[in-house]
Amino acid sequence: MEHLVSSWYNDRSLPESYTLPPEDRTGMLPLGKNILVVDLGTHDQTDILQHILEASQEFGMFQVINHGVPSNLINEAMSVFKEFHALSAEDKAIETSKDPSKSCYMYTSTQSYATEKFRFWRDGLLHRCNPLEKYIQFWPEKPPKYRQVVAIYTAELRKVGFRILEFISQGLGVNPDHFRGELGENQTMLVNHYPPCPDPSLTLGLCKHRDPVVINILLQKDVYGLEVFKDEEWIGVEPIPYAFVVTLGVLMQIISNGKLKAAEHRVVTNSNLAWTIAAFALDPFNETLIEPAKALVDTNNPALYKSLSYKDFLIKYRVAASYGTTFEELLID
């Protein structure tokens, strides 16, 4: 836990390992562009469907408002996430090492800390969510309300996630339940924390990447840090209070046979503010086969991606030293 950025950022300048090569550092952000905001409360379902589809094809990312998750629950969830990251390093270690099979753990920078070339300015708490009765016993008990609040929050996000996946399925022309069951029922909560950084121009919270998930539903609340890459430029994702940012992952690109796009995104750092972001992911199980949906493949539309289990996908995905992906390897030559 001594590696956690939050354990040492206060007494040191930026260590060498966090200084990124010039091409990976942050540039000036173009202003005035933004990703689509989809109002899930609109009565016209066709309208919602079209917006989601358009955003999924162009950016692989959109925000949703009027999603039905109460604002007081969002506030409570964000509070317990922040309180968790404010615990002492010792408490964080104790609270995240209850499961010998590591369904709940903490890490810093990336999952490839031992081999990565550069470091990133992020501490992460990761735990599984479903089935709740199996995993909740391993979740943090500090702050004391963590389990109670996060259980309700993740149940709500699961509903939002499947509702969005149903729209996407309809838009793609596959069975509306395509993602229910194996493809989306392994859910995880990743709570990222970014302490204030001495030099945001030299480092990043997370480098450019695509997520190894079906979709991610992010709560960024009111701090700006997330950027999406589109047409060779970075676009800042404007924080809208109580909105969720939905990002499509690599698995969605594979399942849709390239019709929808995995969002390429990164996180910049901030010299004054610490912030916390909660990403709820819908993932497959380890043995689930990931492949283009059968309904989308025929002689005129051959499969663009190889079939492989989620477990093997993750191994390939993590082969890269950092969080960067070896995504092109998954293409059929």
Applying CB under 6 A, the residues found at the interface with ligand OGA are: 190, 192, 206, 211, 218, 220, 225-226, 265, 267, 277, 279
Q: Which residue has the tokens 């199996």?
A: 134
Q: Which residue is nearest to Ni ion (CB)?
A: 211
Smallest gap from residue 211 Cβ to Ni ion (A): 4
Of 271 and 301, the one with the shorter C-beta distance to ligand OGA is 271
State the Cα–Cα distance between residues 137 and 142, nearest whole angstrom.
13
State the Cα–Cα distance between residues 304 and 331, nearest whole angstrom.
6
Asked if 259 and 114 count as a contact pair (C-beta separation under 8 A), the reply is no
Classify 210 as helix, strand or coil: coil
Smallest gap from residue 44 Cβ to ligand OGA (A): 31
Asked if 216 and 247 count as a contact pair (C-beta separation under 8 A), the reply is yes
CB-based contacts of 203, cutoff 8 Å, min separation 6: 14, 18, 19, 20, 25, 119, 120, 121, 197, 269
Which residues lie across from 124 on neighbouring strands? Answer: 107, 192
* Partner that binds at residue 267, options Ni ion, ligand OGA, none, CB closer than 5 to 8 Å by kind: ligand OGA
* Partner that binds at residue 203, options ligand OGA, Ni ion, none, CB closer than 5 to 8 Å by kind: none
* Partner that binds at residue 85, options ligand OGA, Ni ion, none, CB closer than 5 to 8 Å by kind: none
Smallest gap from residue 288 Cβ to ligand OGA (A): 20
Site for Ni ion, rule CB under 5 A: 211
Of 206 and 246, the one with the shorter C-beta distance to ligand OGA is 206
Smallest gap from residue 295 Cβ to ligand OGA (A): 29
Asked if 157 and 219 count as a contact pair (C-beta separation under 8 A), the reply is no
User: What tokens appear for 317 in the block?
Assistant: 């995905």
Of 162 and 229, the one with the shorter C-beta distance to Ni ion is 229
State the Cα–Cα distance between residues 266 and 208, nearest whole angstrom.
5
Of 116 and 211, the one with the shorter C-beta distance to ligand OGA is 211
User: What tokens appear for 277 in the block?
Assistant: 């972001």
* Partner that binds at residue 110, options ligand OGA, Ni ion, none, CB closer than 5 to 8 Å by kind: none
Smallest gap from residue 225 Cβ to ligand OGA (A): 5
Of 254 and 267, the one with the shorter C-beta distance to ligand OGA is 267
CB-based contacts of 16, cutoff 8 Å, min separation 6: none
Asked if 61 and 55 count as a contact pair (C-beta separation under 8 A), the reply is yes
* Partner that binds at residue 207, options ligand OGA, Ni ion, none, CB closer than 5 to 8 Å by kind: none
Of 184 and 212, the one with the shorter C-beta distance to ligand OGA is 212
* Partner that binds at residue 69, options ligand OGA, Ni ion, none, CB closer than 5 to 8 Å by kind: none
Q: Is 173 left (phi over 0), alpha (psi -120 to 50) or beta?
A: left
Smallest gap from residue 170 Cβ to Ni ion (A): 25
Of 24 and 291, the one with the shorter C-beta distance to ligand OGA is 24
Of 138 and 323, the one with the shorter C-beta distance to Ni ion is 323
Smallest gap from residue 116 Cβ to Ni ion (A): 16
Q: Which residue has the tokens 């793609």?
A: 172
For residue 166, CA distances in Å to 57, 110, 172, 201 come to 16, 31, 10, 40
Smallest gap from residue 123 Cβ to ligand OGA (A): 11
